[in-house]
Each structure stands twice: as C-alpha cells, then as structure tokens.
Amino acid sequence: MIKLRWRAPAGTGDVQTLVQNAIDLEFATLPPYLYARLSILPGTNGPATARLQGIILQEMIHMCLACNIMNAIGGTPAIKPPHYPGPLPGDVGGALVVHLLPFSQAAVQQGMAIEEPSKPIDPPKLQAVVGEKTVTIGEYYHLLDLALQNLPVSDWTANRHQIDDNQFFPGQIFAVNNYADAHRAITQIVSEGEGTPVTPGEDGSPLDFQNELAHYYRFWELERNQVLIKANNPVGYAWDGVLGVDWNSVYPAIPDPETHDFSKDPPAAQQAQAACNQAYTAMVNALTGTFTGATGGLGVAVRAMFDLRMAAMKALHTPLADDTSVSGPAFLYLDVPQASARGHAP
C-alpha cells in the first residue's frame, strides 16, 4: 500500500502543491502499467490486455483531471517524469519500490500494491487534518477534496487551460471550473482506483462509479487468474473460474531498462532504445504544452503517445546482446530532447 504524506495546507499555494503531488503520482503509475501491457505478446492474453488497457486509459484520464484542477485554481501543472526503479512520488512508506516489469505476477502484484485501498477508510465525515499525517492514496484525495472545498470562490478560474472530452476519452474527461467539478473529478479518480470503500454506512463495493471494476480488483483478478463474480454471500462477491492469463505469452523483456547498460548491446538495440527515449521525451513535452494551454496540445500529445508505442514495439522486437532478451522503453526523459540510449544508474 502506498503511503503519502499529507500536510495540511495553509493557503492556495499549498493546495496547488498538494494537487501537483497528485499529478506526479498519477503520471508515475503509467510507465509500470504500460511496460506490463506492452510486453504482452500480440494476440494473446486478451482478458489481461483488456484489463490493463482499461486501467492505463483511466490513469491517463486521472492525470488530465488533476491537471484540470490545478489550472482551475491558478497553478501550472508540471509533468515530472520519475525514474524506475524507485518509489512513487510522495510515497513515504518506503516499502514499495516501483519497477518496470514485463507482464508477470510480480507486475500485477505491484499494481495491486499501488492501488490498494484502505479498509475501512476514514468515516464519511472526514475531518481536516492539522499538521502532517501519513495517508493512503484514497485518503489523500479525500483530504485534498476537503482542502479544495475550503478554497475561496475567488481562487477558482473558469475555462483556464481545461482539457475536456471533445476529442478523446468521451464522457470521461471534463473541464474543472469550480469546486463542484473538482469534487466530481476526485470522486471519479478514487472510485476508479479503489472502488467504493467500506465505511460504517456502506458495505463497500469493488465497482467504481460507473459500475466497472476498480483498478485494484482488476489487478487482483489477474494475480489470481480468476474472475471476481457476484455471489450470494456476506461479501457479495466470490472468486470463480479461470480468467485465462498466460504468463508465458510475454516478450522476454528485461526489467527496469533504465538500469541496463545498452552500450554493450547491438547498435539496433541501442537505436531502438534511443528512439523510445526520444518519443517519451516528446510526449512529456507535448503534455506540458497541453496543460499550459497550447492549441491542439492534447492531439499533439496523443500522436506522441502513438509514436512511443511504435518505438516500444520496435524495441521489443530487437534482441539485446545476449540474443535472448529484449527491452521495452525505459521511460527516460531526456533533458535535451535528442536520441540517447544511455541508462541511468539507480
């Protein structure tokens, strides 16, 4: 379980910092999920692919919504690429070091650890926290919701660099123009990640606000290779059947390519990794433009995402020096946007 440090905000600037933490966290979940997804052999593992794809799309949306909140309260979203392996941004638990892992039980267990809800979480009537506290992701968002609620109306600006669903993700991204919109965004983020939490007044549910299975439970299905089904028991659900996960239908991708020394690999592998880094850097730069109001920014970023996918596919088909393994993208941001295949030491 991720543990985040919550520091009670003293003003709008502090709330912006807390929202930035949320942006960092949402962005940081994407590379490990994408690495697992990309490493699945095409045409195999349909249920796993669908579950991972759904989670990844929703995490992208969560980041967009968090950026919308930031813009609505006058801040400037920053896209800060993390390094892997490493802790998630803001994690003070220290127990979870996030890796880029090919699709495997370890990868989905890592996903569960990232998305794990607290059971039960705080009662519904949350109290503002004075000082510092260590909280789960869900609790962090609930406290952030309270902090946003306490901002004066004058702190909210309508239509400031907002991303909506008019081009992508129909029905899932919306403009944040006031606290009500922000509350809706946070509810969606928490719901899709953790489901409906167990509270004194509620039995809890693995379903999100749209009655889809929340991320934690989708990872759990993969980990157990079973389907979570409705059942007439006190919990309301039971494990059943076989999901059809094939852990072997995976590219032989190395973990944590950032720690790999590509200089000893064939030129083709170096070039493939460099192309991944370049595409990733272009995507981060495009996202930065998107959330600061660039015309057509999201379309530029989406194209960059497709370019990254193409580069990743090429890399996953290019043997490394051992002639038996390949590498997915390291998700390495190049400060100077030019091709480089050098990995960083952890």
* Residue 8, token pair as written in the block: 């009670």
* Residue 290, token pair as written in the block: 């998107």
Taking CB under 8 A as the criterion, the residue among 81, 297, 328, 329 binding another protein is 297
CB of 286 to another protein, least distance (A): 7
Cα separation of 288 and 308, whole Å? 16
55 binds another protein (CB under 8 A): no
* Three-state DSSP state, 6: strand
* Residue 45, token pair as written in the block: 């593992």
242 binds another protein (CB under 8 A): no
317 binds another protein (CB under 8 A): yes
Cα separation of 191 and 250, whole Å? 30
DSSP for 273-339?
Answer: HHHHHHHHHHHHHHHHHHTTT-TTHHHHHHHHHHHHHHHHHHHHTS--TTSS-B--------SS-S-
Piece in contact with another protein (CB under 8 A), picked from 60-68, 129-137, 162-170, 177-185: 162-170
Single-letter residue type at 143 = L
267 binds another protein (CB under 8 A): no
Q: What count of residues does the chain have?
A: 346
Taking CB under 8 A as the criterion, the residue among 299, 337, 340, 342 binding another protein is 299
Taking CB under 8 A as the criterion, the residue among 25, 254, 287, 332 binding another protein is 254
- Among the listed residues 214, 170, 212, the one whose alpha carbon sits nearest the alpha carbon of residue 195: 214
CB of 18 to another protein, least distance (A): 30
41 binds another protein (CB under 8 A): yes
Single-letter residue type at 120 = P
Q: Which is nearer to another protein, 118 or 325 (CB)?
A: 325
233 binds another protein (CB under 8 A): no
Taking CB under 8 A as the criterion, the residue among 43, 131, 200, 234 binding another protein is 43
214 binds another protein (CB under 8 A): no
* Three-state DSSP state, 32: helix
CB of 129 to another protein, least distance (A): 34
Q: Rule CB under 8 A: which of 181-210 touch another protein?
A: 207, 210
H or E segment at 238?
A: strand 237-240
Q: Where are the alpha helices (DSSP H) in 73-178?
A: 105-115, 137-149
Taking CB under 8 A as the criterion, the residue among 13, 293, 296, 346 binding another protein is 296
Longest Cα separation, the chain: 61
87 binds another protein (CB under 8 A): no
Judged by the rule CB under 8 A, the positions of this chain that interact with another protein are 41-44, 47, 104, 164, 166-168, 170-172, 207, 210-213, 221, 227-230, 232, 237, 240, 247-252, 254-255, 268, 286, 294-297, 299-304, 306, 310, 314, 317-319, 322-325
